[in-house]
Amino acid sequence: MLLTIDVGNTNTTLGLFNGHNLKFDWAFSTDPDKTSDEIGILFHSLFHHTKQDIRSVKDVIICSVVPPVMNSLVAAVKKYMRKNPIIVGPGIKTGINIRYENPKEVGADKIANAVGAVKLFGAPVIIVDFGTATTFCAINGNRDYLGGVICPGIRISAEALFEKASKLPRVEITCPSDVIGKNTTASIQSGLFFGYVGQIEYIVGKIKKEMREDNIKVVATGSLARLIASQCRSVDEINSLLTLEGLKEIYYLNTKG
């Protein structure tokens, strides 16, 4: 089996694939202070809980946007799984042409998302990723990664509001039944949620105009994709684990499988 690992700023997500089928997925908080042994014990706990044999893992592939985590994570994979993981980075085959001014600036997670989206939904495609940051990536019909947009994530915005406005409470991110809030909590929830829905609709529309292509699919991913994108008319597909799917495809592009 193949273990895919997506290290994000907030969470680390794991996907266990049997061939091309995702069997299990797990997530835990990303912590640069975790030792390789702590990560290894966590691996064993997750596999044991789902009655999977960790020795069944044939290969491991990792994408990360948190460099301080990598030494401990790679050491844990080598020690507890006895595998040398594939790391998504410069020189790896993706089938995507990076047209960014500095290709090294494109996050490994964005590359994995692009590969996964093109494989599952074709090109041209726009990917909206609801992570710590909300990001938009544009891939044209020639599979060129054109660039994108980076915005503060909805949770970051909510925390900033709570920290900087002394009388405003911390709120749960939810889909309000009405736009007009009848109390402070409901008003904040409405502003956060519908503000982000509006942001998605506007930015996607502007990206489509600049791409000047027909039949551009819009795919949403990330932990909040189903909550927010379900209210966005511009979103065609929702796949919360798109990064893991992309990592799987990158693995097969770089090995004989």
The average pLDDT across 20-47 equals: 96
pLDDT for res 167? 85
Task: Answer yes or no: is 13 within a domain.
Answer: yes
Task: List phi, psi (to 5°) of 148.
Answer: 180, -155
Known active-site residue 37:
no
Let me know whether 188 and 233 are in one domain.
yes
Same domain, 198 and 143: yes
Segment 142-155 mean pLDDT: 96
Question: What percent of the chain is helix, strand and coil (3-state, nearest 5)?
Answer: 40, 25, 35
Whether 109 and 233 map to the same domain: the answer is yes
Judgement on whether residues 120 and 180 belong to the same structural domain of the protein: yes
Same domain, 225 and 115: yes
Question: For residue 164, what pLDDT is reported?
Answer: 87
Return the closest-CA partner of residue 217 out of 134, 139, 135, 103. 139
Query: Band of the pLDDT at 257, cuts 50, 70, 90?
Result: low
pLDDT attached to residue 153: 93
Q: What does the pLDDT average to over 35-63?
A: 95
Asked whether residue 20 is assigned to any structural domain, the reply reads: yes
pLDDT average, residue stretch 204-231: 95
What is the reported pLDDT for 113?
A: 98
Q: What is the pLDDT of residue 214?
A: 96
Output DSSP code: residue 241: T
Query: 158 with 231, same domain?
Result: yes
Position 252 in a domain: no
Among 33, 109, 178, 236, which one carries the catalytic annotation? 109
253 falls within a domain: no
Among 53, 87, 121, residue at a domain's last position: 87
**Edge-to-edge strands of the sheet including 217-222?**
97-98, 144-152, 133-139, 125-130, 217-222, 237-238
Q: In the 8-state DSSP scheme, what is residue 52? A: -
Is residue 220 one of the residues assigned to a domain?
Answer: yes
pLDDT cut 90: percent of the chain above it: 92
Please report whether residue 25 resides in a domain.
yes
- If you average pLDDT over every residue of the chain, what do you get? 95
Q: What is the domain-level CATH number for residue 79?
A: 3.30.420.40
Mean pLDDT (whole number) for 12-25: 96
Please give the share of the chain, as a percent, with pLDDT higher than 70.
100
Based on the fold, state whether residues 48 and 156 are members of the same structural domain. no
- pLDDT (tens digit per residue) in 238-256: 999 999 999 999 999 999 7
Are 104 and 63 within one domain?
Answer: no
Residues 74 and 103 in one domain: no
Confidence check: pLDDT of 230 > 90: no
Q: For residue 166, what pLDDT is reported?
A: 82
Q: Which residue has the tokens 């691996």?
A: 43
Q: Are residues 35 and 151 in the same domain?
A: no
The CB-side HSE value for 252 (13 A sphere, CA atoms) comes to 14
Question: pLDDT tens digits, residue range 120-142?
Answer: 999 999 999 998 999 999 999 99
Domain of 179 in residue numbering reads as 97-247
Our count of domains for the chain comes to 2
Count Cβ atoms below 10 Å from residue 181 Cβ, excluding itself: 14
Report whether pLDDT(151) > 70: yes
72 and 147 inside one domain: no
Q: Answer yes or no: is 254 within a domain.
A: no
> What integer is the mean pLDDT of 160-175?
90
Q: Is residue 255 part of a domain?
A: no
